[in-house]
Amino acid sequence: MTDATRKRVMIVPCSGIGKAYGSVGREAMYTLLEDLRPDVTDAVCLSLLTLGDADAQAQVRDQPTITIDGCPSACAKVNVEAAGGKPAAEYRVYDVYRTHRDLKVRSVSELDDAGRTMARLLAEEIAAKVDELQ
pLDDT tens digits, residue range 82-97?
999 999 999 999 898 8
Domain membership flag for residue 2: no
Domain membership flag for residue 20: yes
> What number of CA atoms fall less than 13 Å from residue 10's CA on the CB side?
23
Confidence of residue 6 (pLDDT cuts 50, 70, 90): low
Domain membership flag for residue 1: no
Q: What CATH number should be reported for the domain holding residue 58? A: 3.40.50
For residue 3, pLDDT over 70 is answered with: no
Domain membership flag for residue 44: yes
Confidence of residue 1 (pLDDT cuts 50, 70, 90): very low
DSSP assigned state of 80: H
Domain membership flag for residue 124: yes
The string of pLDDT tens digits covering residues 111-130 is: 888 889 999 999 999 999 99
Name 99's Cβ contacts closer than 8 Å, sequence gap at least 6: none
Domain membership flag for residue 104: yes
- Measured distance CA(23)–CA(29) in Å, rounded: 10
In the chain, the number of structural domains is 1
User: Which residues form the domain of 33?
Assistant: 9-129
Domain membership flag for residue 3: no
CA-based radius of gyration for the chain:
14
Domain membership flag for residue 17: yes
Cα dihedral 91→35→105→128 (10° resolution): 30
Residues in the chain: 134
